[in-house]
Structure 1
């Protein structure tokens, strides 16, 4: 009888504790929501400068995303979202650099300049830090804001404040924007080694898989290739879908190209079947990031090739873009890869 009474009181105590915690959570949420409504009312009634509901909502969304404390998560205005979509298709008006925020410095950093672009011609290199964009402090600027400031119509001017790793002074570099065309894949037969094909992937966009397969097919059709050198140096990443498609060219059918972990599950994305079967060397460096790290990792895991170079950038996370109703979008980190 005593044990039953003890069990009963234990259950009741647990229910009371759970109810108390639930009440506390509801109370705190109600209090915060009440503050939000009060703040909106005060701004509408007392602020000297008028502020529309849309501006308030946009500001609230920006603040929420900012609280994630993730440099790769951002609220995208309609113009910024459109710019991102254009970039993933392969052309845009800008300077021709990819940027990131290394974990060790937390500063806006050039991951890679694109060959032949205004940035590359001005001597901007991988590892340079961007401290200013047209006089605005860019050291702790989120990536998408920085990119939107550097992009613009061809022929217009923008000045970057650049500090190189071995320098203390910030150099002011004036640049003229151009139309940047990004062929994501380029290939050739090496003159000194005519039985080796060299292929460079500069980024991963919607056309990368098709471009790679066509390039390798054309090179091997015209030449008796004994091997392939795949250059992923200074490749900042891009489309996860393109990286998985490209990885499938080298990974045997049924083997995982990448394992992704999100809030719900751990999922393997399997190769549909290997279509490029040549002895393979993959070149990597500190500018190889995100999707290029996925491809290099997949090749290493199944021993489809040999990696040569240095430690990669280390961006082991995946962002997803979610379109909102008014043409805006939010880009947030949704997964990490193993």
Structure 2
């Protein structure tokens, strides 16, 4: 590695040391001297790599590794350093479009890549990948040794490129290998239609919260002419969350003006996110399950606390903390947990979840009928319909 490159690294290190010392001085005053050894250790390791390490190492690799290690040391699974590729993919997800195969992964088991669903008309759906399939290899990379975020990054890529997935299908006790060509995946986050067999009941499914979800919902409600329906079933099952402000906009259609969520930062400062004046004022039932998380729990919690609807299903995931993405140089970013949220009744649901008003479990092995095509509803949806009809007939 050239001396010019190493001078650049040492400039980065010097800046880091100055920042760390300034932060330590502000936090602990005279105790700074007790921690100087840690900073000296960092400089010592860099010097050892420079003078002793066999292979060539780029400056960017070392700086990225140092930052990643610092964030990982927080022990927070939701705080992470993202290189330029990871950051670009996250932004694509937030804005609802990316190059990939159209697979949504389950949160249920963090140690396995379990397919939750495939997006309609995408390469994964066309290839025959099914909910419950376990992805064991991505282009010969063993998925048991990588994070879910890394797996998602490997499956995504430029449209027109190929990716090979090896999946294990428990129902058939066999492993399948499928090669797919990536496409531009545009994810519609809101779909609405009359419930099959119930033309006076509006069924609305929200799969995630991207920046456009509030606008999508407004368009769906308008195209359905929502006021002609007697009641609404809102399906938030398997919704892993997303953008906070989108959740507030969505909640505004299902609660009256007033608090949707309270955001509490590290200093205890509270920001209140209020509903807009767009309440549709219809009898409402909300479907939730163990994978209803984050922004979807904000909407569910607001509806429960403001008493504008009934929750049916099982206890939600329990992610009541907020992450902020800070853009850095060279297209990189760091995502940090910066606040917690409380429901309108000032309840923290982090690691607790939200208990539904009506508990209904799916039988083992039975899939939820999200966006049903006929009247063969799963037990949760069937209970939601009966609950809504009882509300309408009061």
What TM-score bracket applies, with the shorter chain setting the length? 0.7 to 0.9
Q: CA deviation at 1:240?
A: 1.4
Contact kept, 8 Å, 1:130 with 1:139, in 2: the verdict is no
Give the secondary-structure state (helix, strand or coil) at the position aligned to 2:248. helix
Q: Which residue of 2 aligns with 1:18?
A: none
Q: Does 1:52 align with 2:31?
A: no
> Cα distance 1:259–1:108, how it changes in 2: closer, same or farther (>3 A)?
farther
1:289 aligns with 2:293: yes
For the pair 1:298 / 2:292, whether they are aligned, the reply is no
**Residues 289 and 109 of structure 1, relative CA distance in 2, 3 Å threshold:** farther
Cα deviations by residue, 1:24-63 (Å, 9 ceiling, x for unpaired): 9534421110010011112122222232333211110111
Do 1:72 and 1:143's aligned partners in 2 also have CA atoms closer than 8 Å? no
2:211 to 179, 187, 206: 206
Structure 2 runs not aligned, ≥5 long: 1-27, 342-347, 349-394
Structure exhibiting the larger radius of gyration computed from Cα positions: 1
CA distance in 2, matches of 1:133, 1:25: 49
Q: Which residue of 1 aligns with 2:90?
A: 84
Deviations 1:56-107 (A, max 9, x none): 11110111122223333221112221222122222111121233554x6544
CA distance in 2, matches of 1:241, 1:93: 25
Q: Any conservation in 2 of the 1:126–1:287 contact (CA below 8 Å)?
A: no
Moved more, 148-157 or 320-329: 148-157
Q: Which moved more, 1:199-208 or 1:139-148?
A: 139-148
Match of 2:102 among 96, 118, 128: 96
| In 2, Cα distance between equivalents of 1:109 and 1:70 | 22
Equivalent residue for 1:280, pick from 284, 288, 295: 284
1:165–1:318: structure 2 CA closer, same or farther, 3 Å change rule?
farther
Partner SS state of residue 300, structure 1: helix
Alignment equivalent of 2:37, drawn from 26, 31, 36: 31
| SS state at 1:252 partner | coil
> Displacement of 1:152 after TM fit?
1.0
Query: 283-292 or 294-303: which moved more?
Result: 283-292
CA distance in 2, matches of 1:266, 1:124: 46
Q: Mark the runs of 5 or more structure 1 residues left unpaired by the alignment.
A: 1-21
Q: Deviation at 1:288?
A: 2.4
1:177 paired residue number: 182
Tell me which moved more, 242-251 or 164-173: 164-173
Distance 1:140 1:166 in 2: 24
User: What secondary structure, in the 3-state scheme, does the structure 2 residue paired with 1:195 have?
Assistant: strand
* Distance in 2 between residues matched to 1:309 and 1:23, nearest whole Å: 52
Q: Please list, as runs of the form range in 1=range in 2, the aligned pairs for 1:210-229 lying within 5 A after superposition.
A: 210-220=215-225, 224-229=228-233
Q: Give the match for residue 15 of structure 1.
A: none
Tell me the TM-score normalised to structure 1 length. 0.82
In the TM superposition, residue 154 of structure 1 has moved relative to its aligned partner by 2.4
CA RMSD of aligned residues (A): 2.8
List per-residue Cα deviations over 1:181-219 (Å, max 9, x = no partner): 111112122352222222221211111111111211221
Q: 1:273 to 1:178 in 2, by over 3 A?
A: same
TM-score, normalised by the number of residues in structure 2: 0.71
Alignment match of 1:75 (pick from 54, 78, 81): 81
Offset at residue 168 of structure 1 (A):
7.3
Shift of 1:283: 2.0
Q: Is the 8 A contact 2:96 2:188 kept in 1?
A: yes
Q: Which moved more, 1:190-199 or 1:158-167?
A: 158-167
